[in-house]
Structure 1
Amino acid sequence: MTMIQALRSGLDVMMERDSNVIVYGQDVGYFGGVFRVTEGLQTKYGKSRCFDAPISEGGIVGTAVGMGAYGLRPVVEIQFADYFYPAMDQIVSEAARLRHRSAGDFTAPITIRMPCGGGIYGGQTHSQSPEAIFTHVCGVRTVMPSNPYDAKGLLIASIENDDPVIFLEPKRIYNGPFDGHHDRPVVPWSKHEMGKVPEGYYTLPLDKAAVFRPGKAVTVLTYGTMVWVSECAARETEVDAEIIDLRTIWPLDLETVVASVKKTGRCVIVHEATGTGGFGAELAALVQQHCFYHLEAPIERVTGWDTPYPHAQEWAYFPGPQRVGAALKRAVEA
C-alpha cells in the first residue's frame, strides 16, 4: 500500500468496527479528499458517516468536540495543515481541556488529520510543518508517521484514543519514500518493506519511537519525511548513524531517545520546520538534560530556514542529504 491507501484502509477498518466513527471535512465525501485518502468511504458507509463540511476549520473542529462529548469518534480532515489556524481556539480551549475541565465526565476522542510539509510546490499556504505548535498544547497528542505500515497502525490507535490527536501526514511521501534529492524519482512503496500493510485491524502505541536504522557512531532524531532524507545522508556519507523515528512527537518516547544518545555519544536533530522554536529545540534541551555526561560532541540541528516558506526555493529550504550529511560528519569528527 501507499501511505494514502494505508490511511484509507485504517479509516475503513475503524468505520466498519465502530459505528460511532464518522469522517468529515472539506471535500472528503463525494470527492474523496484532495489527496483521495477518503475515496469510496461515502459510497460504502453513506452520507451520514462520511460527508463534506463547509469551509470553516473552526466549525469542523468545534462540531467534532461536541460530537466527541456526545459519544461519537469523529475523524476530521483539515485539507492542509496550513489551514488549522482558524480552529486553534477550538483545539486549545475546548478539545485539549475538555476531559480535565470536566473532571473526566466528558472526553474529546477526536482525530484531526492534516496533510503537512512541502514537496508539491504549494507555497506558503500549502506547505507548512506546524507540529511544534501542537506539542505545546497540554492534552493533545501529536503524531507524524513516516511510512504506510506505521501510518495505518498509528491512525487506528489515534481513533481509539480518548484524547484529541493531531495526525500529521507528510504529503511528500504519500506515494513513496524520498531520499531528498530533487532530481531523483520517488521509490514506489510497493518495492519497500514498509509498504507491506495488513488489510485488517492492528495498532501501534502512541508513545513509542522506532529504531529505523541501527548504528553506533551518532544518533539522528527525526520524523516524517526527514527519516528518509536522514537515511540517504547516512548512506551517502557512510556514517554509522542510528536513526530514531519518533513517530509520536508528543508524548515523546524519551527512553528510546536517551538510550540511543548514551550509546553513540553524539546527536543530530533533523526536521523540515523552521529552526527557531521548532521541536528540535525541545529535543536538544532534553538530550542535554539527560545525556550531558555522555555527549562527546555538540548537538547538531538541521532544519528549514527561519523565513516564511519560500515557494520558488522549496528544495533549497528542505534539509537535504547534503546538509544532513555535513552535520553527521561534524558530529562524528568533533
Structure 2
Amino acid sequence: MRANRKIVPIAESPRSFDDQGFNWRHIAYLLFVSRTMDRIEERQLVPGKEVLYQFSARGHDLAQIILGSLLTGQHDAVAGYYRSRPLMLALGLSLEDAMAGPLMRAGGYSDGRDIGVVHNLPNLNGPCGLPMSGGVGAQYTPVAGWAQSIHYYRRELNDDSYRGCVAVAHGGEASTATNGFWSSLNIATTLKLPMLFYVEDNGYGISVTSDKQTPGRNIAANLAAFNNLKVLDGDGSDPSESSHLVKQAIEHLRDDRGPVLLRLRVPRLSGHSAQDTQAYKSREQISIEQARDPLPKLKAYLVDQLLNEAEWLEIETQAEADVADALEKAHARPLPEAHDILRHVFCETRGDGTPDLQIQGGLAPGGFHFPPDTTTPAPEPTRVNMVSAIRRTLDHELEINNRLLVFGEDVAAKGGVHAVTMGLADKYGEERVFDTSLSEEGIIGRSIGMAQAGLMPVPEIQFRKYADPAEEQLNDTGTMRWRTKNRFAAPMVVRIAGGFFKCGDPWHSQCQEVKWAHAIGWQVAMPSNAEDAVGLLRSALRSNNPTIFFEHRAMLDDAWARRPYPGDGYVVPFGQARVIKPGEALTLITWGAMVPRCESAAQDFGDQVEVIDLRTIVPWDRERVTQSVTKTGRCLLVHEDNITAGFGAEIAAFLSDSLFFELDAPIKRLAMPDIPSPHSPLLLNSVLPDEQKISTAIDELLGV
C-alpha cells in the first residue's frame, strides 16, 4: 500500500530522543528535506516550467513535522491543504512521490491528474492522509466525519483498534473564516469528537491580513470561551514551545476529552505561491518574518544538547542527497499517459469480472458483503406509497448493514420533514439515525469523512435548493476517485427531496437534476413510483459509487406512484429504463413526476406512443432509447427542470448525432420555462407541463 512510514536516514542513538519522546534527528532530517524540496522547486523547477504550481512551506514546516511525528494511531487521519507537504512527509509520504507529484509524473498520488500540492496517502492499517481539496476550508467537515467515525467504530462496533485515535484538520488562519471551519467546529464540539483543528497563522491569506479574517487577528482568543473545546495558542517557530503544545493537544485527544484548537504562529518565509512577489509587504515586515525562521531556532535548540555541529551537518548533507536522489528518480518516471484519462470516474470492472476497487473509502475495501439480491420483484398483496417504501428499504438495509448511518436535519426526532425516516431513530439509536446541525456543508462534508473511514453514510438534504451550500463538498465527493486515480472514493447516498407539490416556490420546489448529471462521478436516480424507489435505493445503498437519490415531493404519497412492496432483496440496476407503455409511432421520454402525466396523455393515442421512464439520469439508458427512437422515428422529451440546458437537451443532442437519418420529425422538448417554480398553483400550472400540453405536443409531432 505504501512504504514503511518511518524514514531513518542516519542511525539512531539514545541522544536522538529527548525526555518527551521526540526523535529530533528525524525531525531535523525532515525539516532539511522540506527546505531542500522548496529550494529546488523555487530556483530550478518553477523557472524551468517543470513545476506549474508551487507553495513553499518554509516557516510552516517545523511544527507540521512535529505534529506528524505524533500521528501514530492505527486509525489516525489528517486532511491538509496546499502547504501541508512537511506534515505529509512526517506521515510517510515518500520523497520520490513528493517530488514526482509537482512534476506531473506518472504514479504517485494522482498520476498527473491533480495539482502536485494536493496530496493523499491511503492506509487501512495506520495513519492516513485524506485526499486534499483545492478549496480553502473544505478539509474541515470531512475530518469531523472521520472523527465521528472513530467514536462509531469504538462505541457501536466495539472495535478497540479505534481507541485513542485522532483526526486532524490542518489549515491556515484564513480558512477559519470559511463555512467548513465553523460547521465542523459545531459538529466537533456538540459531539465532543477527537478532532484537532490545527491552525497555522502566518498573518496573511495571500495578501489579505488576518484582521480581515477574524477580529483581533487571533482565532484562538476568540474561541477561548467556546464550550467543549480546548484551545491552545503559541509560537510555531519555537521548537520547545511548539512541541510541548502539540504533544499536549494529542494527549488530550487520545484521552477522548473532546476537540482541540491549536493555533501556532508561524512566519511565511515566501510568497503565497511561487508567482507571489509579496509586494504588499514592507521590507521591515519581511525582515521580521525572516528573523523568526524555525530552522536556525531548531539548530540552536539541538546543537550541544542532543547533537553536535558535525551531526547537524551530517543530517543536512544526508537530506540534500536523498532529495537529489528522489528528484532523479522522479525525473526518470514517465509522463502520465492520456490513454486512460477517462478511467476511474466510477468504479470499474476488471477483465475477470471483479471490481477494480479503490484502496480506501466505502464498504468494499474492507471486504463487506451483502446478501444476494434480485431484479425480479416479489410483490406483496397491498400497495404502499413511496414514503413507506423508502422507509422500509432504509429499515432493512440498516438491519443488515451495521455500517450504514442515516442523518440530516430533523431526521431523527421528527422522522424527517417528509416523514420518510419516522421511527428509525427509535429502532436503531441516535448513533445510527441522528439529527444534525443546520448546515448542508456539514452534512455532506462529514459524510465524506465517514465514507473514507469505511462507513456508508446516507445524508438527507430536505429540499433540492438546500444542497447549494454543500455544492463544494458534493463536487469533491464526485471527483475523488478520478483525481486520486482510484486510491480513494467516498460512496454515499444523498437523499434529496424536491419538485412541485400542490404548489411551488423558488426555495423548495426545484428539481435541477441536470446539475448533478453534469457533476463528475455521481449516479443520479429519479424514481417515479414506490417499486422503483425500493429497487433504486437498495442498488444505491449497496453501490461503490456516490449517488444522488431524488425523492420527488409530488410522488411521495401520490396514488399513481403506489405499488406493492417488491421484497427486501429487490434491486433496479442503474441505467435501465422502463417502458411504461409500448407504441409504434412516437417515443416519449420522461422521468420523475412527469411519468404519470405522460402516460395519461399517451393513452389518448392508442398504440402510437411509447412512453419510457428513464428512472436514472446518470447513467441513462442510451440503448433502450436508441432502440425505441429507431423504431418510431419521432421523439418527445418531457421534464420538469428548466428547458435551457435541461437534461432533455443532452438526450436530444445524442439522438441528433447518432440517429439523424432515422428521424422522421424534429426532436421536440417540453419543459418548464427558464424561471423558478412559482408559488401560486395558478401560476405553477400555467408553466408546468401537464396532460393537455403533452397531448398537444404529441399531436403536433405525429402530424409532421
* Aligned partner (choices 56, 70, 88) of residue 439 of structure 2: 56
Q: Distance in 2 between matches of 1:332 and 1:118?
A: 29
Does the aligned pair in 1 maintain the 2:504–2:678 contact within 8 Å?
no
Task: Quote the offset at 1:223 in angstroms.
Answer: 0.3
Does the aligned pair in 2 maintain the 1:142–1:248 contact within 8 Å?
yes
Structure 2 counterpart of 1:174: 556
1:209 maps onto 2:577 in alignment: yes
Does the aligned pair in 2 maintain the 1:223–1:245 contact within 8 Å?
yes
* Aligned partner (choices 316, 330, 333) of residue 686 of structure 2: 316
Between stretches 232-241 and 195-204, larger displacement belongs to 232-241
* Aligned partner (choices 23, 30, 49) of residue 406 of structure 2: 23
Structure 1 counterpart of 2:538: 156
* Structure 1 stretches of 4+ moved >3 Å: 236-239
Q: Distance in 1 between matches of 2:570 and 2:460?
A: 22
1:296 maps onto 2:664 in alignment: yes
Structure 1, residues 164-199: CA drift from partner, whole Å, max 9, x if none?
11111111011124xxxxxxxxx572xxxxx01134
Structure 1 counterpart of 2:456: 73
Residue identity opposite 1:323 in structure 2: K
Residue identity opposite 2:579 in structure 1: V
1:144 maps onto 2:526 in alignment: yes
Structure 2 counterpart of 1:329: 699
Residue identity opposite 1:156 in structure 2: R
Q: Distance in 2 between matches of 1:45 and 1:275?
A: 43
Gaps of 5+ in 2: 1-383
Task: Quote the offset at 1:101 in angstroms.
Answer: 2.3
Q: Distance in 2 between matches of 1:153 and 1:297?
A: 35
Q: Distance in 1 between matches of 2:617 and 2:664?
A: 25
Does the aligned pair in 2 maintain the 1:222–1:269 contact within 8 Å?
yes
Structure 1 counterpart of 2:59: none
Between stretches 275-284 and 305-314, larger displacement belongs to 305-314
With structure 1 as the length reference, what TM-score do the two structures score?
Answer: 0.93
* Aligned partner (choices 242, 255, 264) of residue 623 of structure 2: 255
Residue identity opposite 1:164 in structure 2: P
Q: Distance in 1 between matches of 2:593 and 2:576?
A: 18
Does the aligned pair in 2 maintain the 1:239–1:329 contact within 8 Å?
no
Matched position secondary structure for 2:604: helix
1:134 maps onto 2:478 in alignment: no
Q: Aligned runs of 1:89-104 on 2, under 5 Å?
A: 89-92=472-475, 94-104=476-486
Task: Quote the offset at 1:301 in angstroms.
Answer: 0.6
1:231 maps onto 2:599 in alignment: yes
Q: Distance in 1 between matches of 2:385 and 2:591?
A: 18
Between stretches 231-240 and 3-12, larger displacement belongs to 231-240
Does the aligned pair in 2 maintain the 1:219–1:260 contact within 8 Å?
yes
Structure 2 counterpart of 1:120: 502
Task: Quote the offset at 1:288 in angstroms.
Answer: 0.7
Q: Distance in 2 between matches of 1:54 and 1:63?
A: 11
Matched position secondary structure for 2:572: coil
Structure of higher CA gyration radius:
2
Structure 2 counterpart of 1:192: none
Matched position secondary structure for 2:411: coil
Task: Quote the offset at 1:116 in angstroms.
Answer: 1.5
Structure 1 counterpart of 2:471: 88
With structure 2 as the length reference, what TM-score do the two structures score?
Answer: 0.45
Task: Quote the offset at 1:11 in angstroms.
Answer: 0.6
Structure 1, residues 117-155: CA drift from partner, whole Å, max 9, x if none?
102324110100110001111211111001100001100
Does the aligned pair in 2 maintain the 1:207–1:253 contact within 8 Å?
yes
Q: Distance in 1 between matches of 2:466 and 2:660?
A: 39
**Aligned Cα RMSD in Å?**
1.2
Q: Distance in 2 between matches of 1:151 and 1:278?
A: 23
Percentage identity across paired residues of the two chains: 40
Task: Quote the offset at 1:202 in angstroms.
Answer: 1.7
Matched position secondary structure for 2:659: helix
Structure 1 counterpart of 2:252: none
Q: Distance in 2 between matches of 1:110 and 1:267?
A: 34
Task: Quote the offset at 1:252 in angstroms.
Answer: 1.2
Q: Distance in 1 between matches of 2:631 and 2:397?
A: 39
Does the aligned pair in 2 maintain the 1:239–1:328 contact within 8 Å?
no
Does the aligned pair in 2 maintain the 1:109–1:160 contact within 8 Å?
no
Matched position secondary structure for 1:65: helix
Does the aligned pair in 2 maintain the 1:27–1:52 contact within 8 Å?
yes
Does the aligned pair in 2 maintain the 1:95–1:164 contact within 8 Å?
yes
Residue identity opposite 1:170 in structure 2: H
Q: Distance in 1 between matches of 2:567 and 2:629?
A: 36
Residue identity opposite 1:30 in structure 2: A
Between stretches 136-145 and 97-106, larger displacement belongs to 97-106
Structure 1, residues 77-101: CA drift from partner, whole Å, max 9, x if none?
1001111100111011x20112222
Q: Distance in 2 between matches of 1:119 and 1:241?
A: 27
Q: Distance in 1 between matches of 2:652 and 2:601?
A: 20
Structure 1, residues 23-73: CA drift from partner, whole Å, max 9, x if none?
000101111001100011101110000000111111100100110011000
* Aligned partner (choices 609, 612, 616) of residue 244 of structure 1: 612
Matched position secondary structure for 2:549: strand
Task: Quote the offset at 1:238 in angstroms.
Answer: 4.2
Q: Distance in 1 between matches of 2:482 and 2:502?
A: 39
Q: Distance in 2 between matches of 1:214 and 1:31?
A: 42
Q: Aligned runs of 1:190-201 on 2, under 5 Å?
A: 195-201=563-569
Does the aligned pair in 2 maintain the 1:13–1:201 contact within 8 Å?
no
Residue identity opposite 1:231 in structure 2: E
Task: Quote the offset at 1:237 in angstroms.
Answer: 4.6
Does the aligned pair in 2 maintain the 1:119–1:314 contact within 8 Å?
no
Structure 1, residues 177-232: CA drift from partner, whole Å, max 9, x if none?
4xxxxxxxxx572xxxxx01134222110111111111111001110111111011
Structure 2 counterpart of 1:107: 489
Between stretches 264-273 and 239-248, larger displacement belongs to 239-248
Does the aligned pair in 1 maintain the 2:554–2:593 contact within 8 Å?
yes
Q: Distance in 2 between matches of 1:263 and 1:188?
A: 28
